[in-house]
């Protein structure tokens, strides 16, 4: 069971972005976005804030404790 | 830019896995002659020693920097050394730590039964310490789709 739940995939698709586009926006690799979306990798606070800013939402909306 | 990052990451993974495995294999095949006293070295042994230093240095450098040896835009190179890469590198170093500990224990048992020089044991332990993090890092990158 993942330690952190995420709605990143839903938020990204709602924003009309591909993984590659979101990765480029925040300066990480596509596989970083992919692993965060799949719950394989837990992002740092900094990366979570960058993701939230890029998707015009809040960290609490993107990540939650299951 | 994403294509660049994917291409460079794939290249880095292949370099670390391929050279890491070959480095271990070559310990038994090519670098054995380095265990003789330096006074007995021939020119070919000096070349092998240079190869050993260069090879291990390259593996350490590529893993530690995230791939500064590979050409790419500054943005691509920064993305190649992002949080996930750093996490994978830490996992690689952790694997190296356990591999060296286990190898040291095995070496300790083996030297009780078979004559082994200090040079040979140190060379093998060093090679395991260099190659294991590189191979583990490459395996993680592969699993994550690099």
pLDDT (tens digit per residue) in B51-64:
999 999 999 999 99
Residue B44 class from Cβ within 10 Å (0-12 exposed, 13-18 middle, 19+ buried)? Answer: exposed
Q: Which of B3, B5, B90, B141 to mutate to test the interface with A (most CBs of A within 10 A)?
A: B5
Per-residue pLDDT at B47: 93
Q: Which residues of B touch A (CB under 8 A)?
A: 1-2, 5-6, 9, 75, 78-80, 82-85, 87, 141, 144-146
User: Range with the lowest mean pLDDT among A1-5, B29-33, B102-106?
Assistant: A1-5
Domains of chain A: 5-53 (1.10.260.40)
B43: containing domain: 2-143
Per-residue pLDDT at A60: 95
**Coil, strand or helix: which one is B103?**
helix
CB pairs under 8 A between A and B: 48
User: Range with the lowest mean pLDDT among A5-9, B21-25, B26-30?
Assistant: B26-30
Nearest CA in chain B to A19: B2
User: Does residue B145 surpass a pLDDT of 70?
Assistant: yes
User: Does residue B146 surpass a pLDDT of 70?
Assistant: no
Per-residue pLDDT at A12: 97
Q: What are phi and psi of B46, to 5 degrees?
A: -65, -40
List the beta strands (DSSP E) in A1-66: 5-6, 63-64
CB contacts, 8 Å: A23 with chain B: 2, 5, 79
Per-residue pLDDT at A2: 57
Separation in Å, CA of A66 to nearest CA in chain B: 22
Residue B69 class from Cβ within 10 Å (0-12 exposed, 13-18 middle, 19+ buried)? Answer: exposed
B80 contacts A29? CB cut-off 8 A: yes
What value does the mean pLDDT of chain B take? 90
Separation in Å, CA of B68 to nearest CA in chain A: 16
- Could you tell me what percent of chain B has a pLDDT over 90? 63
Give B85's pLDDT tier (boundaries 50, 70, 90).
very high
Mean pLDDT calculated for residue range B82-103: 96
Residues in chain A with pLDDT < 50?
A: none
Number of domains in chain B: 1
Mean pLDDT calculated for residue range B17-23: 96
Q: Which of B6, B66, B144 to mutate to test the interface with A (most CBs of A within 10 A)?
A: B144
d(CA B91, CA B82): 14
Question: What is the DSSP secondary structure assignment for residue B66, as one 8-state letter?
Answer: S
Q: Tokens 């596509």 identify what position?
A: A30
d(CA A63, CA A43): 10
Tokens matching residue A6? 């995420």
Of B79, B144, B146, the CB nearest to A27: B79
B87 contacts A28? CB cut-off 8 A: no
Range of B5-14, B87-96, B137-146 with top mean pLDDT:
B87-96
Cβ pair A55, A15 in contact under 8 A: yes
């Amino acid at each position: 069971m993942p330690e952190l739940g995420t709605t990143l995939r839903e938020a990204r698709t709602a924003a009309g972005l591909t993984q590659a586009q979101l990765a480029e926006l925040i300066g990480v690799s596509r596989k970083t976005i992919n692993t965060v979306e799949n719950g394989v990798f837990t992002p740092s606070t900094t990366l979570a804030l960058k993701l939230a800013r890029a998707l015009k939402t809040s960290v609490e909306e993107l990540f939650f404790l299951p | 830019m994403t294509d660049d990052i994917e291409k460079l990451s794939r290249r880095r993974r292949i370099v670390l896995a391929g050279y890491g495995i070959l480095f271990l294999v070559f310990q038994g095949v090519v670098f054995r002659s380095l265990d003789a006293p330096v006074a007995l070295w021939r020119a070919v042994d000096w070349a092998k020693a240079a190869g050993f230093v260069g090879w291990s240095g390259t593996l350490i450098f590529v893993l530690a920097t995230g791939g500064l040896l590979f050409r790419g835009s500054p943005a691509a190179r920064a993305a190649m050394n992002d949080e996930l890469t750093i996490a994978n590198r830490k996992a690689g170093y952790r694997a190296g730590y356990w591999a060296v500990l286990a190898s040291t224990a095995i070496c300790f048992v083996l030297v009780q039964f078979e004559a082994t020089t200090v040079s040979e044991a140190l060379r093998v332990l060093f090679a395991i310490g260099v190659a294991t993090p590189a191979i583990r890092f490459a395996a993680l990158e592969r699993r994550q789709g690099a």
